[in-house]
Amino acid sequence: MIKKYFGTDGIRGKVGSGLMTPEKVLKLGWAVGRVLASQKDATGSNRVVIGKDTRISGYMFESALEAGLSAAGVDVDLLGPMPTPGIAYLTRTLRASAGIVISASHNPFYDNGLKFFSPEGKKLDDEIEYAIEAMFESEMSIVDSSALGKAQRIVDAHGRYVEACKATIPMSVRFNGLKVVLDCSNGATYDIAPKVFAELGAEVIAIGDKPDGLNINLNCGSTHPEQLIARVAIENADLGIAFDGDGDRVLMVDKKGEVVDGDELLYIIARSRLSEGEDIGGVVGTLMTNLGMELAVKDLGLEFARSDVGDRYVLETMNEKGWVIGGESSGHIICIDRTTTGDGIVSALQVMAYLAKEKITLHEAKSGMKKFPQIMINVSLPGHADPMQSAVVQQAVKQAESKLNGRGRVLLRPSGTEPLIRVMVEGEDELLVSQLAKNIATEVEQAAQAA
């Protein structure tokens, strides 16, 4: 079955269109409430926690969800602005039947979306998402007035999550003497992240920590690290940390001003776990993970596996393998030995704890991994053409792989959201990689036009 409304990470769209209107979100809240109420006997709970990031439309959708859930007879705990992984954590610890996040992650303020968590703080099962979609398309009804859900605000939500983050590293670890710049992307980490790192002893300079509802992800955060790079240099800081709007992704900047992406951070976390004598089995990346990361992980004596792009698929592969760490180049890193979902603050803490313990710099910690040059070219598709099946394109790919001689990769991947084919080539020689990518992209474009 193909889902009608749910994507790989919940529901997302432009505010005022599609499902992202007050009336549709109200009914979605009702549908979620009805489905969860029918499972009350299994969960033992009939309450949902709602959190949001800092975009202005969050107020509107929070009220709509609260009304819909109440109409279905479900109680609501309101958390206010919270990082997505914090909402997952509180869903679990408050013993709620589900958690809902109002966020569009790294998108601009004019987009918004809904993410859902199970009672265990994980993504909802497909069966529940199908049931919610079916309920959404049925006629809305309201429970008897005596059975309407109630709402309350959890006033200590931030404090609970701050302590949970700190608890993911050893009690003996202190960040005293480290000067850190945090870019909170004017998003959900704006209040919590500075507290976490300051309470662990770091000298914290915060930027992107003044959200106004419109400036979330605006030229800041993990998708725009330029301000962070500049501020690390100005402050002569030891490193910089950038989160995205909802706090589930993280990138870093070292003292030399070099961006340390999700692949490199995942490699450092793997090194950290091994230094503690932990048996992690292997590391999960995605089809887009840099080949240098794969080789570096294998040099550590660990196995490596690739999943499809998307944190849902990373987690599925981790569960299949029985491994505990995985992630994406974007900085969405999952450490299920510490938490249940991708968490920017927790991932940054794992890296920082390793630096503090080993008394090394971020630049030194990533030095064991050499990133291969990686070129990506997007080729637009007219109509419903499928040039990937073209014999000429397949031959171009084989020729490129032959020239890379086992020290590189070629990947052709259709976009999941746009009529595009993404042509990716990586290898040791940047000039060769660039030429091969251009050659394949040209063949893909010509095959698409001829189809």
pLDDT in tens, 203-240: 999 999 999 999 999 999 999 999 999 999 999 999 99
Whether residue 316 is found in the same domain as residue 178: yes
Considering the chain, what percentage of its residues have pLDDT values greater than 90?
86
- Backbone dihedral angles phi then psi of residue 164, each to the nearest 5 degrees: -65, -40
Tokens read off for 74: 């479900």
* C-alpha–C-alpha distance, residues 325 and 311, integer Å: 12
Burial class, 90, CB count within 10 angstroms (exposed 0-12 / middle 13-18 / buried 19+): buried
pLDDT grade for 26, boundaries at 50, 70 and 90: very high
Q: What percent of the chain lies above the pLDDT cut of 70?
A: 97
Q: What is the mean pLDDT of residues 96-123?
A: 95
- Kindly state whether residues 349 and 395 are assigned to the same domain: no
Distance CA 146, CA 349 (A): 46
Spatial distance between the Cα atoms of 204 and 207, rounded to a whole number of angstroms: 10
- pLDDT at residue 265, rounded to an integer: 98
- 277 φψ region: left (φ > 0), alpha (ψ -120 to 50), beta (else): left
Q: In this predicted model, what pLDDT tens digit does every residue of 142-153 receive, in sequence order?
A: 999 999 999 999
Instruction: Tell me the whole-structure pTM to 2 decimals.
Output: 0.91
Clarify whether residues 266 and 357 are in a common domain: yes
Is 105 one of the annotated active-site residues of the chain?
Answer: yes
Q: Is residue 187 part of a domain?
A: yes
Angstrom distance (rounded) from CA 154 to CA 150: 13
pLDDT band of residue 417 (cuts 50, 70, 90) is low
Residue 356, pLDDT score: 96
What was the pLDDT predicted at 20?
A: 97
- Say how far apart CA 264 and CA 272 lie, in whole Å: 12
Say if residue 123 is in the same domain as residue 219.
no
Residue 6 covered by a domain: no
Closest CA to 272 of 340, 177, 355: 355
Q: Where would I find the H helices in 282-327?
A: 291-299, 311-321
Same domain, 353 and 425: no
Cβ atoms 443, 396 nearer than 8 A: yes
The domain tally of the chain equals 3
Reduced to 3 states, what is the DSSP secondary structure of residue 420?
strand
Does 114 map to a domain? yes
Q: Which residues contact 219 (CB under 8 A, 6 or more apart)?
A: 226, 227
- End residue of a domain, out of 127, 155, 183: 155
| Same-domain pairing of 382 and 412 | yes
**Which residue in the list 97, 105, 185, 390 is annotated as catalytic?**
105
Q: Which long-range contacts (CB under 8 A, 24 or more apart) does 225-228 make?
A: 225/183, 225/251, 225/253, 225/259, 227/183, 228/181, 228/183, 228/253
DSSP assignment of 71-98, as one string? HTT-EEEEEEE--HHHHHHHHHHTT-SE
Q: What is the CATH number of the domain that holds 307?
A: 3.40.120.10
Are 335 and 386 within one domain?
Answer: no
> What is the band of 44 on the pLDDT scale with cuts at 50, 70, 90?
low
CA distances (Å), 46 to each of 25, 30, 76, 439, in order? 19, 13, 9, 57
Tokens standing for residue 371: 């990133």
Which pLDDT score, from 0 to 100, does residue 430 have?
93
pLDDT band of 310, cuts 50, 70, 90: confident
pLDDT tens digits, one per residue of 379-413: 988 877 788 888 999 999 999 999 998 889 999 98
Structure confidence at residue 40 (pLDDT):
62
Q: Which domain holds residue 427?
A: 374-450
Same domain, 323 and 425: no
pLDDT of residue 450: 81
pLDDT over 60 (residue 41): no
- Residue 50's SS3 state is strand
The last residue of one of the domains, among 135, 155, 175, is 155
Looking at the fold, whether 337 and 397 belong to one and the same domain comes out as no
Q: Does 85 share its domain with 219?
A: no
**Assigned token pair, 435:** 């030429």
Quick one: 41 and 101 in the same domain?
Answer: yes
pLDDT band at residue 42 under the 50/70/90 scheme: low
Measured CA to CA, the distance from residue 397 to residue 419 in angstroms comes to 21
- Residue 438 one-letter amino acid: K
Per the domain annotation, does 4 fall within a domain? no
The answer on 171 and 112 residing in a single domain is no
Band of residue 43 on the pLDDT scale cut at 50, 70, 90: low
